[in-house]
Structures are given as structure tokens and as C-alpha cells.
Structure 1
Amino acid sequence: MAESDHSRSRDYPYSSGGWGSVKAVAKILAHEKAPLKGTKVLIHQNKPDGFACVGCSWAKPAHPHAFEFCENGAKATAWDTTSKRVSPDFFARHTVSELREWHDHDLEDAGRVTAPMRYDAATDKYVEVSWDEAFEDIARELRAMRDEPDQVVFYASGRASLETSYMFQLFARMYGTNNLPDSSNMCHESTSVGLQKAIGVGVGTIRLEDFDHTDLMFFFGQNVGTNSPRMLHQLQDARKRGVPIITFNPLREPGLLKFANPQSPTDMLTPAHTRISTQYHQVKVGGDTAAILGICKAVIAADDDALAQGRARVLDVDFIETHTVGFDALARYVRDASWRDIERVSGLARDALEAAAREYIGANAVIAHYGMGLTQHRLGVQNVRMICNLLFLRGNIGKPGAGPSPIRGHSNVQGQRTVGITEKPELAPLDVLAEQFRFEPPREKGMNIVETFQAMIDGKVGAVINLGGNLVRSVPDRERIEPAWRALRLAVNITTKLNRSHVVHARKSYVLPCLSRIEIDRQAGGEQAVSMEDSTGCIHGSRGVTEAAAPDIRSEPYIVASLAKHTLGAQSTVDWTRWIGDYGIVREEIARTWPDTFHDFNARMWTPGGFPRVLPARERQWKTESGKAGFHVPEMLEEDPDMPVREPHALRLTTLRSDNQFNTTIYGHDDRFRGIKDSRMVILMNERDMLARELRAGDRVMLETIADDGVERRVRGLTLVAYDIPEGCIGGYYPECNPLIPLWHHAKESKVPGAKSIPVRMLRDV
């Protein structure tokens, strides 16, 4: 790659949204050969009578825009409604060994899988089987492992509906295991753990209406322009009424700088745009705890001064005394912390943090948005607790316009937990399920993602039922995981498209094609609908609007129920066939399990804007051990205690997603916002760091993980790109950089892979 291509990146010169988004949508619709069909389908996306986006989980408003989709949502829809097909003839033409050499993008871009397929070792090809043949063979394998049910893992991707997820967790528990890892284990488990301890509920507390009442918003480690672009509409409205937005992010991201609304004639036909961030602080990778601590220090110092001068208090003393525990310990820690250490670790000047604190002090209602930039660290749970510390100081929870706002990625990853997808038995209503379905659920803790793959490496996992997702590609330590995956006795993949987890096959592998959420689901009881929960805890119905990609594709509920029926047989008390015919029956059972949230489920699922789940913390009711919200004293300022301080040229690698991908799905090799063309094998680096290492933009390098566990982890063939990123920090794409993450390099308590701060050294690639 020549230096003139993209080795010297510059800030995206335009606003996010605008004509760039319009062109990107038109391009992918044409690429998927569905421009007219795709346009008609998009009109129904995120509408009360249409389908929920298969991409991000941002809230769906009660009064949607004419086009209630973003660029990435349109890409996800085009990806699913493509006219390309992966039929049995496709598999007859290609061996699995050949497909394993294809790029991830090319595997998914081949199109929709149209028939159930089983790996045939004799020919090294997938061959077509009937649905009954697949179900019975899979069930036979699962029954053979029934004496040791914990060697079977039931993984759920965040795309699965509430109905499918409920059925899936019930199948797993009737089978005899709590091995129910899911997408949340990869990203926001730190939220689930941290918020649960701090406020008694493991999700955020804000809703869309809070945007109309907030006086200030923080952003920490969340790139709204690529991860949840529809949120930019609410941010634009808030900015137009003068609400400040303070951003902390290592990279300058266009979506957090300025936005041109594609649905506004003024924005599209003039140079008009909305400035999103009023303060933008490029915190060092791993420096968020220190940055938040600096704001807290300035706030407490201002309160100390006000108290000494007899002025009105800065802290919300009534909230702290009535609703919290642990303030005095935190205050001592904050007062003792030195500005020198805070500046060193955060990479930010005291003046900058005090400027953020002044805005915070002047606001009555504050929302703190955050993403995986906070959660995917060794001390990711601590980061979440620090967000809560900051909000507690001025009572910014349980009142209009205020609260923690974790931005979830996958479209129903939050909802899956609401209906029982969890490896933690204490979070599932096991006693209720036992009475409801007349069986004894397992009570032992199941395995999360990290534990699953460690057990797989140790030879203790025999089978994985993979409900969506691309596990082989998304997990850390790929060079150790892939051999372990190939040694599995059974891998069952429920999917719309081909991906890496299918071609890195187990000894017996199945690919079972399922309907997309966008497609009409016809069962014995007529056309069916499903539901999901968004990031704000609101639950929505979703109805498919286009015909299935092929006649032999089955719905996710059909596949899960059929696997359960064949495997459990007469031992199950569930009439799975009846459930397949009418998903409304499933929703009635969900309402019996969680009546507070899901009462009248079938009637309320079409409420415009969704109906809210019960969130006690939103009403200042704290379901914690103490009965109050809890302040937390940080363990240390550094978010990555593994970082080797003695190695002079050690770097912190943070993994990134481009504007042309959704999780492991790669729509294209360009990253428009970062100026990258035709490649994802790049490393973004500060030019001063290059100079210190006698490197320059365009050089080819490799990265090597700094660890003392005896395992060599390297990624080669990377090209340096000059970028505005703090010194000592570099950025590279996920999942290409996943081989550098040790499986043990995960968040304490939550075990989320530490993908946002990986200690590496850089070497020339010769």
C-alpha cells in the first residue's frame, strides 16, 4: 500500500449523516442487487407496525421519522434482503477447506443460506439434509451427552427475539445446564455487574423522553456515529436547545463532532450542520477512571469551598444522605488523589477536567452515555461504578433527564437477559420456572464466554448450539480457540448467512438457515410477530414485511422448538409444536414468568414507542444489598493492571469498528470516517510515536502481545496510518486484532474480554 493511499489519514472533512450516508445506503442496496426492494422495505424499519432493525438496539420513538433508519441500519437490512443465495449447489462447488481461505466479508457476501446443511468429512463439503434428519441427528448427539449436560453450551446472539430467547433458555435448563453465554458476555457484562451493584438493576435508567429534560450529556467510549447513528437525531434536538455535550474518547470521531440530518432539506442543501460535542477530550486508552475521578475531585473541591464560604452546596446532600452509602470513603479517596497522577493516567490536563466539572456543576439533570470503550477493560466494572459515582454526587439518577445510559450494540442483547438468557442462576427465576413447567432447573452456575472457551481448550466442552453469531471470529485468542472448536463433537449453527464459525467446523457441524426478522414468518396459526427490548428498556413488537429468501428456511422459534422437542421428548412438559404455531402462547408464558413487566404482553407489544420494563432505580428504589445506591472506591487509577510499565516502547492497543461493519459482519473494506480505503489491516498511530520508533506512515509492522504466559500472539501484515490518537495508544480493527487478546485478559468480576486496552509491542514486518 502506497503512502498516498491512506497511510496519512485526516479527519473526515464532512458531517456525519448527510450525503455521505445517502451515498453509502445507495451503494450497498446496489451491491446486494436489491435497490427497489430494499427501499420499499426500509420504509417499514423501526416503525410501530413494521420490523425492528436487526442491527443496533437504540430506542424506537412513538412518533417515528418518515425514514426511521440510519446508514448502518440500512446496511444491515440490505445485507439480509440480498438477492444472492448460498444454495446446496454453492456448497457442491466449494470445499470447506477452500471456503476457509475466503475473507470474512466474502463468506457473508455470498448470500443467504437456503437449506439445512451437514458437514461431510469424506468430501470436505457441506451436504444438504432434510430438516427432520438434521433435528433427529442433532438430538441423538445431545441425548448421548445428557449424563453430563454441562459439556453442552447454548450460545445466544443478540439478534434473537424475546420469544426465541425464552424458548432457548428453557430448552437449555430442561436439558440440564445453565451454560447460557450470550453477546452481553462480550461487551456490556461489565454494565450488568457494575450497575447491579451500584443501583440494583443491571441496565440503564433513561428513556427517550429524558432527552427533552436533560441539561447536559456526557459521552464516554461510545462512537455514536457508527454504533448507534439514529441517536444523533435526539442529540441534534438537544443541541438545538443549548444542551452541552462533553465527550471523552481517544479518537476524534466524526459522529461526535458534527451531524447533518439526511432528513432535513436545510442540512442536505446547505453547508448546515449541528455541532455535537461542545467539549471533546481525547483521553488516553485506559484513562477513563482517572478522567472521571478528576471531574469528581473538582466537584467535591467546589463543594468544600462552598461549605467553607457559606454558599449553597454543590453536592446533592439530601440525595447522598437519603439514598446512598459509601460517600465518605469515596470522598477521602478523591481528596487524596493527586492531580499529577490523574493527568498522567488520563492524558488530560487539569484545566480540561475542571472545565468539564464546571459544566456538570451548572446542570440540574445529567445523562452519562457510555459504550464498550468503558466496559472492555480489565477494570471495566470499576469504570461503570465511576460513572455512577459521578452521577450520585449531584443526584443525577431517578429524576427526569438524568441517569446512566449504557448504549447496547446488538438489537436484543439486553432483552435476552430480561427473559432468562444468563449463566448466573441467581438472575433467573428458577423457582417460578420450576412451578410453571413442572421440572427441576439446574442450580449450578453455568459458563460465560471466557469460561466456555477455556473449557473448550481444556477439552471439557462437547457441543455448542450457536443461535446466531460468529463465535470463532468474535472471541479472543483465536489461534488457540480454532483448534479447540474443530475438536468439538458437535456444532449447530442457526444462521442467515455463512461465516467463519461454519467453515472452522467441528467433527460434526450443521448449518441451519433461519428467517431474518425482516421476513414474513408463516406458521400454522398464521403470520407471526416477535418482540425485542431496546437500550432504554422498552419492548417492541416486530413484524416481517418481505417474503422468505427460500421456501426451505425456518424461523428461529421453529428451529429452537424443534431441537427441544426432538431432544427432550416426553421428558418435556412443553407442547413445543403448539408454541411453533402461535408465538402468542410463548408471550403468555413469558408474562406468567415475569408478570410485573410482561402483563398483557400480546396487547401491549404494539404500543407506539414500546412498553417499559420495570426499573426500580428509575424511581429511586434500590434493589441492592444495602437497600441504597452504592458509591465505589476505585481499586486503582489504571484500567489495565497488566500494562508493563518497564517496557519502554510498550503500546496500548484498542480495537475499533469501522463505519462499514456491524460486529463481525464486514460490509466493505473502507472506513469512510477515518479515511481508510480498501483495507482493514491497518494500525492508527500518533506520528510522534512513529518518530520515536524510527517508523513512518505506510510502513508494514506486526504486533506482538506482551504477556508472560508462554503463548506467542502475533498479527502480521499491518500498515501504519498517521492518526490523531494520544501518544502511547494505537488503534486496530476488530476482529482482525482479536488474536492478540489473551483469553485471561478480561474484566475482573464480569469477564468481558479486555479488547479496549491490550499491551503490545510493535515490530517491523519483514
Structure 2
Amino acid sequence: MSQPTPSFMPYKAPAGGWGSVRSLLRHGLGEGARTAEGARQLQRQNKVDGFACVSCSWAKPAEPHPFEFCENGAKATLWELDKRRVDAGFFERHTVSELLTWADHDLEAQGRLVEPMRYDASSDRYVGISWEEAFAIAGRVLRDMAPERAVFYASGRASLETSYMYALLARLYGNNNLPDSSNMCHESTSVGLPRSIGVPVGTVLLEDFDHCDCILSFGQNVGVNSPRMLHPLQEAARRGADIFTFNPLYERGWERFTNPQEPLAMATGTSTRISNAYFPVRAGGDIALLQGLARALLDLDDAARARGDARVLDVEFIESHTNGFDAFEAWLRAADWQRIETESGLSRDDIESVAAVYAQAKSTILIYGMGLTQHRHGVDNVRMLCNLALMRGNIGRPGAGICPVRGHSNVQGQRTVGISEKPELVPLDRLSEQYGFEPPREKGLDTVGTVEGILDGSVEAFIGLGGNFSRAAPDTARLEPAWRGLALSLQVATHLNRNHLLCARETLLLPCLGRIEEDVQATGAQHVSIEDSTTCIHGSLGISPPVADTLRSEPAIVAALAQAILPPERAALVPWEQWVGDYAQVRGAIEATYPDQFRDFNARLHTPGGFPRPVAARERRWETESGKAEFHVPEVLCATGFEDRAGRYRLITVRSNDQFNTTVYGYRDRFRGIEGTRRVVLMHEDDIAALGLDEGEHITLVADFDDDPEVREVGGLRPIPYRIPRGCIAAYYPECNPLIPVSHHAVDSHVPAGKSVPVRIRRGAGAPIPPGPAPE
């Protein structure tokens, strides 16, 4: 299928504004759109009596705006309401081999999956089957398989109810092989925060934005990844809070914002300045940056002591609540400013200017995204951020705290209710008592372990609850052919994607209801729940008529799978059919398993603004081995895990404005001024000139790892001048995943290190980005 004609024009407008409105109208009126139904549902999005957005997981306010959705959230809603259908008739017209040549966007743009299907190798097509046949096939394959050879993957979309049932199914089956999308993004948070402050989640609630007077942001693109967050940021900026942004690429959302819900601003074209200053730190330079900020803070404290003034450091907090400060202080005093400047790419003056403001702020929120977590030393990044917060006591009081911005809608929540490969994070003893079985105690496979298992043949079955695993995971070029060696690939999904076309010996495609659609079971219309980035739990009710009466809900599919693949005596331990008939019973079971987290779950389900789970660090209780928050001394200053050398660039993989995770809604990256293509490399203009590259010339990125024998390259790319540090380049995810070996991941957390990939640039188109037509 053809793509639009590429064009490149710097975008000068603010985030939001008429650009956002035009984009929404384009998608709302486009091919496949159910315009009237879309407008009706958008009015209910992220509201107490409505449904939780299926896109990002940003907090939902108790008093929502009239339109409590952002541009990308609206795209996700309209995508789910697509009137087009993918059924067996679609596959009569298109073989799987043909569809593998299509671009990702074109596959998902065919519409909603509406009937269960099985791949038929003789015709190279999916064919329709009954639900009963699908479950029987899954049962036949999985009952005869050693439990450790099957993987139960979950994307971040599934509700808390579905996630709890799915995790329980995996453990009843006999393993903890429960990788999820958090393994690919914020696992460095889940590892780093507990070591520093004793909890795996952030400490900030939405109301803290009303009380902060300083915000520091690291490696997070608010305008694309969590645009509704711009509302509290705008309010903070207007009342005078100081906001500083550290990110390799200049992103429009952190610069200026016009709120589409403010008629005067829309009419006059006025915008709000978000950041006081924007600092383009080098990819992987955040440890050095944070060391510089902390050292500057220490110097300011020394000067205050010499003058007899009030201390800059929160000494009382440090002495009462922390451990390890002496070693951290010694490390700071030995810091070399020249190394800090070289590694961070920022000047000492700039770093000290921010530290001076931070030193005077009463309450500071420290925000971060995958720009910190997706590095070889991403855990060190997270822990260094905690160090900076601890120095000023900015945890456990109003207007202050750590704020990791999670991505997919319920990626944090599914972890809360048991989807984890780490048995120590799950109350297995309570599950044993609750359901009368002995849960497996061995550590399961995460995303990296799953990829490795598929590559070496030790994984034989993959059950996917949403997502596009093979496209999102690293080592794509090796993973895709290996996928065909699986005994079973079973995918629960709403739209067709590339992973579904990688057919195993048995391949099943099971269509499910979307969160926006009405889910009627034995006791009537069902509510579900999700957890947002700030640990608040929200109810969600879909009322849109399902796109087909052949769809089943995710809880119903999980329950049927359990009854098909578990031995009868195991399946009988759980009242699956009762749970499907009444999701409130599932919430009752969640409360029984996690009584401290979900007290009065059903009664509080529709609390305006959600009800927050208890987080010990918010109360300055530290669930660490020492019983105190821990300062951490990293062993490195560069988070990339590789050395710089002539001709080696640090590649940052990024998403576009017309994209959420692996779902590509279109070919407009409005904020970066790119339209009609995703085959670009964003580069500093001096790097382009130094290489002698011409406008329109094609280049190839070649992976440049010292210890990887594979040849990895992605070609058919055009260099585009952009505001980015020299030596750093950026290109789109997931197209560049073939450049990332499965071994290139964060230490301890195993997050694929997609924000700092060593590459060389070769002139010439090379092999085009798979899949898709030849380069323009």
C-alpha cells in the first residue's frame, strides 16, 4: 500500500491548539470512522461514569475537564471504534505471505478482528473456527507441554480483573512466565525504586502538582506520551512554579502549550510557556547530569554553612530517614566537573543554575520517562534521581516526590495484581491458601528471557493477551523467523498486527471486546478497573455496542482457556464461570489476595479521581532492608554501557505524534515537522555536514556492538536536521528494533536499551526498513 509523499517542515506552533484539533478531526472523519459514536464516547472518556482511556495511564482528575482526553487518547478511542472488519473473508482475499509485505499501519488500519481464526498452512490463510474449537486446540497443545516451556505475555491494556485471572491461570498451569510490557519500558523503575525508597512505584499524586513550586523532568516527552499531563503542568507554570526539562531532543510539549479547552487562547493563538529552560543532555548522560546537580547542591550547602545560613540539604531528613549519605557525599566531592560536562553534554554554569533554583524550592516533583529507564545503566539513572530527591527531603510531603510516567493504560495495574515473572513480588502463600494449590516458586521468564527462549527453542508456546510482542521486542530480525518454530502462538487482540502473521505450528487469533464496548454477562453490564501512573484505581464502564456479536470479553476468554488447558481438578479450584458472570466477584478475590491494597474494592470502585493504593514512601516509611531510604553510588558516569569512538553514534529510538507503542495511526509526526514517512534519522546539522550528506540522500544505520557477531542494519533512511546533541541521533521505534540485540539491555532490570544504541552511518539505502515498500 502506498504512503503519503514525504515532507519536512519545522513545526513552530505550540503543543495542543488548532494542530491537535485538526488532527483529531482528521481521524474522527477518516476512513473507517464511526463519527457520531466516536463523539458520544469521547464525552465519557476518563470520567467517573465513563471509561478509562485505552492509551496512556496518566492520572484521571476527580473534577474532569469537559473533554478529558488528549489527541492520542482520542485516536486510540476512534481506532477501537473502527467500523471496518477483519474476518475470514478478509483472509480469503489476502494470504499471510502477502500481508507480511504490508506496513504496520496498513495492517492495523484494516479494522477490528471479529471472529476466532486458525492459520491454515495449506492455503496460507486464516480460516474461521468456533470458539469451542479454538479452546480445544489450545488445550490439546498446552496439556501435553512441560509448563516451563509456555509463556503468558500481557500488554498493558487488560483490566485488573483480567490481569488477576490471567496471572492465576499461569500459576495454576505451573509457571511464572509472565512477561509484560513493563519489561520493555519501566522495569528499571520497578528495580531501582525499591532499592532506593522501598516501593516500585512513584510517590506523587495528582494533587501534588497543585502544591509544588519546582518541577524537574528527565527523558520524558509529555506532548506525545502523556498529553493530558500538560494540564497540571500548565497550571503549575501559570502560578510561577519553576520547570526545567532535560532531554536530548527538543520536544514541543515541554516548550509551549495552547489548551484546546480554553476558547480565548484558541481564538487569540496564545500559549503558555511550560519550561523555564530546556537542556539537551546527551543520550546516556543523565548519571553525570544528576551528579552535577547533586554536587552543585552540596557546594551551595557548604557556602550556606560558611555564612551561617540555613542549610540547603535537608539534614534532619537525611539523618532520620536515609542511609549511605556519607559514601554518596564522598563520591560527590571527588567529582570531576570536566567529566560531568563531557558526559552530560551540558555546561557547569547551566547545571549550577538549575541547582540554585532547586536549592530554594520548597517542594519539587521529579518526573522521568523511558529516557532514563531504557539504558544499559537505567537502574543507576533511576537511583541517582532518588538521590537528588533525598538530598532535599522531596519525598513524603505535599507537592514533592518521584513521578515515573508509565505508558500503556494499565501496565502498572497488571503488575499490582500478580503479572510478574518474579515470585518474590507476588503473595504466593496467600494464593496457596486462597485456592488450595502450591504455586510455582521458580523465577519465570521476562521479555528478554522469552526472546532468548524463542531463539534457542526452549520456549514452545506463546499466549499473548494483547500487544505486538515480536515487533516491540528487540532482535526483531532473528525473532521473527524463530517464531515459526513455536508449537503454539495464541493471540488475544482487537486489531491485526504483524505478530499475528508469524505463524507457528498451531496459530490462533482470538478477537476480544474493547474497553469502550458494552460487556454484558450473566449479571448484566460489567464494570472493570485500572490503575493509573499515580497508583490510583479507577472504574471503567463500556457502553458502546460491540462491533460484532461474535466477540468475547477478555475475562471470558481467560476463563475458557483455563478450563481448556488445566487438568479438571485444577480448573475446579477457581469459580471461573461465576467470575465471568460477575466481575465484582473477581474484585472480591483481588481484595482477598491483596487486602492492604484493595480495601473495600467494590465499594470504592467509582471514587472520583480514583482511590490511591497505599504507598509506604508517601508516609516516609521505607520498606528496604535497612528500614531507611538508601543513597546509591553508581560505578559509572555514562549510562550507555559502551564507549564513544570515531564514527559511532548514540541512537535514540522514539515514537511519533501519530503513534502509540507499536500502533501507528498515520504518517504525521507533527511536532517534529515530519509528514508522509517514518524513514528518517534526526541528526544535528553539523553531523550531517561533517558526513557530507545531501538533502534527500539515503543512509543505512549499522549496529556497532563490540561483542555481537550478527550483522544488523536498517536502511532506506533520510537524515533530517534536528535540535539534538552532536553524536546523538534519533529514529523511530519499532522500525529500528532490528538494530538492538537481545543482549543489549539494562543491568538487573533487563529493559531493552533502546535509548542508547551504538550505530555507524553508512551512505546508501541498504536494506529498507522491514516491512514495507521500497524507499521513496
TM-score, normalised via structure 1 length: 0.98
Paired residue secondary structure (1:247): strand
Listed as ranges, the matches of 1:359-398 within 5 Å are 359-398=357-396
CA distance in 2, matches of 1:722, 1:189: 32
State the distance in 2 between where 1:282 and 1:688 align.
15
Kept after mapping to 2: 8 A contact 1:191/1:202: yes
Shift of residue 484, structure 1, vs aligned partner: 1.4
Cα deviation, 1:117-145, whole Å, max 9, x if unaligned, reads 00011111000000011011101111010
Opposite residue 608 of structure 1, the aligned amino acid is P
Out of 262, 265, 289, the residue aligned to residue 264 of structure 1 is 262
Structure 1 equivalent of residue 654 of structure 2: 656
Query: Offset at 1:478?
Result: 0.7
1:576-587 counterparts in 2 under 5 A?
576-587=576-587
The letter for the 1-side match of 2:27 is I
1:571 paired residue number: 570
The answer (yes or no) to whether the contact 1:7–1:697 under 8 Å persists in 2 is: no
In structure 2, what residue type is equivalent to 1:658? S
The separation in 2 between residues aligned to 1:65 and 1:396, in whole angstroms, is: 29
Instruction: Return the alpha-carbon distance in structure 2 between the equivalents of residues 555 and 8 of structure 1.
Output: 43
1:8 touches 1:722 (CA, 8 Å); kept in 2? no
| Alignment partners' CA distance in 2, 1:258 and 1:203 | 29
Q: Deviations over 1:263-283 (max 9, x none)?
A: 001111002110000111011
Deviation at 1:570, TM superposition (A): 2.5
Percent of matched pairs sharing the same residue: 58
Query: Are residues 1:626 and 2:626 paired?
Result: yes
Counterpart amino acid of residue 761 in structure 1: R
Is 2:617 aligned against 1:609?
Answer: no
How far off its partner does 1:29 sit? 1.1
| Aligned position for 2:761 | 762
Quick one: which amino acid aligns to residue 78 of structure 1?
A: L
Question: Counterpart of 2:761 in structure 1: which amino acid?
Answer: M
| Cα pair 2:363 2:400 within 8 Å, conserved | yes
- Give 2:719's aligned residue: 720
Match of 2:400 in 1: 402
Residue 8 of structure 1: CA displacement? 5.8
How much has 1:6 moved relative to structure 2? 6.4
Work out whether 1:144 is the aligned partner of 2:149.
no
Q: Map of 1:504-543 to 2, 5 A cutoff?
A: 504-543=502-541
1:669 to 643, 667, 670: 667
Q: Which residues in structure 2 correspond to 1:70-469 (within 5 Å)?
A: 70-145=70-145, 148-469=146-467
Q: Kindly provide the CA deviation profile for residues 408-441 of structure 1, in whole angstroms up to 9, marking residues without a partner as x.
A: 0000000011000000000000000000000000
Contact 2:108 2:663 in 1 (8 A): yes
Give the Cα separation in 2 of the matches to 1:413 and 1:723: 32
Q: Secondary structure at the match of 1:218?
A: strand
Structure-2 change in CA distance of 1:357 and 1:200 (3 Å): same
Quick check: 2:244–2:276 contact (8 Å CA) kept in 1?
yes
Output the amino acid matched with 2:149: Q
Comparing 692-701 with 314-323, greater Cα deviation is found at 692-701
Q: Distance in 2 between matches of 1:456 and 1:89?
A: 31
Cα displacement string for residues 352-374 of structure 1 (whole angstroms, at most 9, x for unaligned residues): 00111011001010000100000
**Do the aligned residues in 2 keep the contact of 1:477 with 1:743 (CA within 8 Å)?**
yes
Q: Do 2:8 and 2:674's aligned partners in 1 also have CA atoms closer than 8 Å?
A: no
Q: Is the 8 A contact 1:424 1:446 kept in 2?
A: yes
Q: Given that residues 215 and 367 in structure 2 are in contact (C-alpha distance below 8 angstroms), is that contact kept between their aligned partners in structure 1?
A: yes
Q: Secondary structure at the match of 2:227?
A: coil
Cα deviation, 1:150-184, whole Å, max 9, x if unaligned, reads 10000011000000000000000000000000010
Preserved CA contact (<8 Å) 1:213 1:401: yes
- Secondary structure (helix, strand or coil) at the match of 2:351 reads helix
User: Which amino acid in the other structure matches residue 561 of structure 2?
Assistant: L
Query: Whole-Å Cα distance in 1 between the matches of residues 212 and 527 of structure 2?
Result: 35
Counterpart residue identity of residue 84, structure 1 = R
Q: Is the 8 A contact 1:407 1:535 kept in 2?
A: yes
**Would the aligned equivalents of 1:156 and 1:468 in 2 still touch at CA under 8 Å?**
yes
The separation in 2 between residues aligned to 1:372 and 1:6, in whole angstroms, is 28
Instruction: Report the AA paired with residue 72 of structure 1.
Output: N
**Distance in 2 between the 1:343 and 1:223 partners?**
23
1:213, CA displacement in angstroms? Answer: 0.8
Q: CA deviation at 1:242?
A: 0.4
C-alpha displacement at 1:642, in angstroms?
2.0
Residue 7 of structure 1 contacts residue 720 of structure 1 at CA under 8 Å; is this kept in 2?
Answer: no
**Contact map agreement 1:697 1:722 (CA 8 A) in 2:** no
Q: Which amino acid aligns with 1:281?
A: F
How far did 1:694 drift? 1.6
C-alpha distance in structure 2 between counterparts of 1:626 and 1:102, whole Å: 54
CA distance in 1, matches of 2:220, 2:166: 31
- CA offsets, 1:312-354, max 9 Å, x none? 1110000000000011111111111111000001000011001
SS in 2 for 1:101: coil
User: What are the superposed Cα offsets for residues 457-491 of structure 1, whole Å, 9 maximum, x if unpaired?
Assistant: 11100101100000010011111111111111101
Other-structure match for 2:22: 23
How far apart in 1 are the matches of 2:478 and 2:689?
34
DSSP 3-state at the match of 1:185:
helix
Cα displacement string for residues 590-631 of structure 1 (whole angstroms, at most 9, x for unaligned residues) = 000011121211110100000111100000000001100000
CA contact (8 A) 2:418 2:426 kept: yes
TM-score of the pair, normalised by structure 2: 0.97
Length, aligned pairs only = 758
Give 2:62's aligned residue.
Answer: 62
SS at the partner of 1:60?
A: coil
Counterpart residue type for residue 569 of structure 2: A
Q: SS state of the match for residue 746, structure 2?
A: coil
Look up the match of 1:734. Answer: 733
Partner of 2:47: 47
Q: Does 1:595 align with 2:589?
A: no
CA–CA distance in 2 between the matches of 1:571 and 1:378?
41
* Rounded Cα–Cα distance in structure 2 between residues aligned with 1:339 and 1:69: 44
Distance verdict in 2 for CA 1:72–1:353, change over 3 Å: same
Distance 2:760 2:277 in 1: 32
Q: Which residue identity lines up with residue 35 of structure 1 in the other structure?
A: T
Runs of 4+ aligned structure 1 residues displaced above 3 Å come to 5-9
Q: What SS does structure 2 have at the residue aligned with 1:484?
A: helix
Distance between the aligned counterparts of 1:506 and 1:337, measured in 2? 54
Quote the offset at 1:396 in angstroms.
Answer: 0.2
Q: Is the 8 A contact 1:8 1:697 kept in 2?
A: no
On the 8 A contact 1:385/1:632 being kept in 2, the answer is: yes
Distance 1:205 1:527 in 2: 34
Q: Distance in 2 between matches of 1:84 and 1:615?
A: 44
Q: CA deviation at 1:9?
A: 4.8
Following superposition, the deviation at residue 33 of structure 1 comes to 2.3
On the 8 A contact 1:8/1:723 being kept in 2, the answer is no
Q: Is the 8 Å Cα contact of residues 9 and 723 (structure 1) preserved in structure 2? A: no
Are the counterparts in 2 of residues 7 and 719 from structure 1 also a CA contact under 8 Å? no
- Tell whether 2:757 aligns with 1:750: no
Looking at structure 2, the residues matched to 94 and 642 of structure 1 have their Cα atoms a distance apart, in angstroms, of 44
Q: One-letter code of the match for 2:120?
A: D
Aligned counterparts of 1:311 and 1:458: Cα–Cα separation in 2: 63
Give the Cα–Cα distance (whole angstroms) in 1 for the partners of residues 180 and 680 of structure 2.
29
- SS in structure 1 of the partner of residue 603 of structure 2: helix
Cα distance in 2 for partners of 1:183, 1:293 equals: 30
